[in-house]
Amino acid sequence: MSTPARPARSGGSSAIGWVLTIGLNVVAPILTYNTLTEDHGWSEFSALLLSGAWPVLDTAVMAAWRRKIDEFAMVTLVFLVITAVVSLVGPHTARALLVKDSAVTGLFGLLCLGTLLAPRPLMFYFGRKFATDGTAASTAWWNGMWEYEGFRSTMRTMTLVWGVAYVAEALVRVALAYVLPTRTMVTLSPVMIYSVLGVLGVWTAWFGKRRAAEGARRQAEAEAAAASGAATA
């Protein structure tokens, strides 16, 4: 069975979706957190709690606009809740905060691994968010791809790699927090976070294209074999 062709992307819809996603799930929470903690003296927990209102707003906007719940915003909200809970546990020394920061990315890795037991893994929903423009046609196309074994295998492999990578990154950062000076880790910690994210992003794009090319090749070979068989019949 041949895979359906990807529908044409809507440039305007895609741009609006990206602006809302990045603005409400990344930029707004960071600005809110930094402003409240640095300029207004709020506690980390209170600032994180209020920052979590932005992904909720994004979910509401997407639900009203596209009449569906956006899983990416829900995961971001869960991630912020986990961060808030972790910030309350244990002492509040500089080293403890660095360890807690590492624990959050580790928990995200475990979340990725946990979804491998769910009907669809986490990268399926992340892929739908970033590989489509959010329109009904592109969303239906992405959902329909799940019936193909190669696509399912790709999504599960991506989820596994992201989960293992973030668990490993968290363990390394926790160990370094007890070995290196705090001043050094304050600089090194975000570098490690974004470096791992960048490497995973590049690998995901490469792996997705490779799997898509392999699928197209197998499909072409199957069609050629079918045509050859029909010609000789």
In tens, the pLDDT along 107-134 reads 889 989 999 999 999 999 888 877 776 6
Separation between Cα atoms, residue 150 and residue 90, nearest integer Å: 44
For residue 25, pLDDT beyond 90: no
Q: Is residue 135 very low, low, confident or very high in pLDDT (cuts 50, 70, 90)?
A: confident
Q: How far apart are CA 124 and CA 3, in angstroms?
A: 17
| Paired tokens of 200 | 């995973």
Give the torsion sign (CA, 14, 15, 18, 20): negative
Residue 70 in contact with residue 62, Cβ under 8 Å?
Answer: yes
Model confidence at 185, pLDDT cuts 50, 70, 90, reads confident
Give residue 9's region: left, alpha or beta (phi > 0; psi -120 to 50).
Answer: beta
The region of weakest confidence among 24-28, 33-37, 110-114, 159-163 is 24-28
Residue 94's CB is within 10 A of a number of other CB atoms, namely: 12
DSSP, collapsed to helix, strand or coil, labels residue 221 as helix
pLDDT for res 64:
67
Per-residue confidence (pLDDT) for residue 73, from 0 to 100:
59
Q: Cα 126 to chain center, whole Å?
A: 5
Average pLDDT, the chain: 78
Residue 187 has a pLDDT of 76
The residues near 195 (Cβ < 8 Å, ≥ 6 apart) are none
Q: Which residue has the tokens 């808030």?
A: 84
What DSSP element (H or E) covers 75? helix 71-88
Q: Per-residue pLDDT averaged across 84-88, rounded? A: 69
Placement of tokens 């807690």 in the chain: 100
Report the pLDDT value the prediction gives residue 66, as an integer from 0 to 100.
Answer: 59
- pLDDT over threshold 80, residue 170: yes
Residues 39, 137: Cα–Cα separation, whole Å: 45
CB-neighbour burial class of residue 38 (10 A; exposed 0-12, middle 13-18, buried 19+): exposed
Which pair of structure tokens corresponds to residue 203? 């690998």
